[in-house]
Amino acid sequence: MNITLTLRILGALLLFLAIALLVPVPCSWFYRDGAASAFIFSSFISAVCGGALYSLFRSETDLSVREGFAVVTFGWTLFALFGALPFVFSGAIPSYLDAFFETMSGFTTTGSTILIDIEALPPSILLWRSLTQWLGGMGIIVLSLAILPMLGVGGMQLFKAEVPGPTADRLKPRIQDTAKLLWGVYVLLTGAEVLLLMAGGMSFFDGVNHAFTTMATGGFSTRNASVAAYGSAYIDWVITIFMFLAGVNFSLHYLALRGKIGDFIRNEEFLFYTGLIMVGTTLVVLLNMGSTYPDFFDNLRFSAFQVVSIMTTTGFGTADYELWPVLCQYLLIFSMFIGGCAGSTGGGMKVARILLLCKHAQVQVFRLIHPRAVRLVKFGGRPVDKDVMQSILGFFALYLGVFVVASFIMAGVGMDIPSAGASVIATLSNIGPGLGSVGPVDNFAHVPAFGKLVLAFCMLLGRLELFTVLVLVFPSFWRK
């Protein structure tokens, strides 16, 4: 572990955060909400700390795998620690712990909130909340790779440590160019959504905020009632479609923009993802028929929105699914584990992993029947590397392990059984709302302090896909 190099890069990342913290300042001036000084002060603190780290530590060596893990994990933690400052300074969230929880929930695109009255907050603070999600969605490190030339060497280590999915796609030979393309597509889609939302009657401010949090599959809203506040079928559908798009691998979007739309249909993961959402929506529609929603189109609109929102790990709400039949809730809980596609902004275990696990299981059963048969797990027509398959099995075991341990802790700090489990999976899969006392119409304000820390850690684990964070726990990681 080269600690000097790690600290230097972390310094650069903090300088970068200092710039991001200035973005809401013009918004604050425009609305005269008085929060501008909080942002400027926070930005100043990050700049001083970042500048100190950057200039005090110098290192000539290149980034290796270990530093990659450390930079990404600590980078995200620092972003949450410093990104929480404006909430405290502006008085929007008086407790630093709560602010940290909220910021971590933002950057990891979870969308769990401890705020009870969102609409009472200054607009610039709301913008910062959405911005944290937007930056975290495509990845802070990926963005820094695109912008900071110093990360070029060894950038692949950082890229792999942050980009979700079992393997990281590269669109271009140079990692910087890949990062630029991914962010380009992300910005483009966000812009498109802003325009479409405004066409449906949203204000520019609400449009930007919702587009930010939709494309990031985050789920922060500027309204207490989330998207339901607009009561518009058009807006619901626009958001449903963009949530769906945000859950797709962004490499596919890029190829589609380059005219290769056929790649969507050839991509196994995309087909499986679409299939899962269709089946889920159909089931929920059938179960909700008659009892909950008498009108078919209302039924379809609310069911599809909720299924896509949970499955892509966005976490927007237009309906309180706790009022739906129990089986519906059960379906939603399970889709929480799956999440979006690899290389998307969604969380969860990722569709690619689930698909490969299913195939692996199938091959195992097949082998029992035909012991001498040779059969490989294939993905997209190519046999899957044994290493990849093993890392997926390991990931699955760890995911469940973390879920179980964290649920125990949450039950230990005094939450009831459904809420304990649901709060963990809602944060671990970066969804936001869960069930019980942390359901879609509730919030996380009542969770005890220690529980908030555990959940914030779950968010980080989920966003960085376990391995990146957990390797730091091993003592051998720190030894020379």
Partner 1 sequence: MNILIVGAGQVGYFLCERLSLEGHEVTLIDRDQEHLNAAQDRLNVLGILGNGASAETMEQAGIKEADIIMAVTDLDEVNILVCLLAREYGVGKRIARVKSIDYLSRGAVLSKDKLGIDLMINPDDAVADELANLAARAGTFDVAEFVNGQIQFLGYRISEDSPLCDLTLKELGEIRGMYRFVVVAITRYGHTIIPRGDDTIQVGDSIFIFAHKEELPAIQYLLQIKEEKRRGARRAFILGGGRIGLRVALNLEERGFNVRLIERDQERCEKLSAKLKKTMVIHAEGTDIRALLDEGVADADVFIAVTENDETNILCSLLCKHHGTKRTLCLVNRPEFLDLAPSLGVDACVSPRLSAASAILKFARRGNVISLATIEGSNSEVLEIEVKAGSTIVNTPLKNLHFPRGAIIGAIVHKQGYEIPDGESSLKTGDRVLIFALPEALAKVERFFE
Binding site for partner 1 (CB under 8 A): 60, 65, 152-153, 155-157, 170, 172-177, 385
Rounded to an integer, what distance in angstroms lies between the CA atom of residue 460 and that of residue 429?
10
CB contact set of 207 (below 8 Å; sequence gap of 6+): 193, 194, 195, 197, 198
For 251, the token pair is 């490499």
Least separation in angstroms between CB 68 and partner 1: 10
Angle between helices 296-311 and 326-338 (to 10 degrees): 40
Residue whose CB is less far from partner 1, 157 or 312? 157
Residue 382 parent element (H or E): strand 382-383
CB contact set of 272 (below 8 Å; sequence gap of 6+): 351, 354, 355
CB contact set of 374 (below 8 Å; sequence gap of 6+): none
Least separation in angstroms between CB 238 and partner 1: 36
Residue whose CB is less far from partner 1, 44 or 467? 467
Least separation in angstroms between CB 77 and partner 1: 25
Least separation in angstroms between CB 172 and partner 1: 6
Residue type at position 125: I
Residue whose CB is less far from partner 1, 5 or 194? 5
Residue whose CB is less far from partner 1, 26 or 152? 152
**436 three-state secondary structure:** helix
Tell me if 429 sits within 8 A of 421, measured CB to CB. no
Backbone dihedral angles phi then psi of residue 66, each to the nearest 5 degrees: -60, -50
Least separation in angstroms between CB 6 and partner 1: 18
Rounded to an integer, what distance in angstroms lies between the CA atom of residue 398 and that of residue 400?
5
Residue 5 parent element (H or E): helix 3-20
Least separation in angstroms between CB 182 and partner 1: 15
Residue whose CB is less far from partner 1, 8 or 301? 8
Residue whose CB is less far from partner 1, 385 or 416? 385
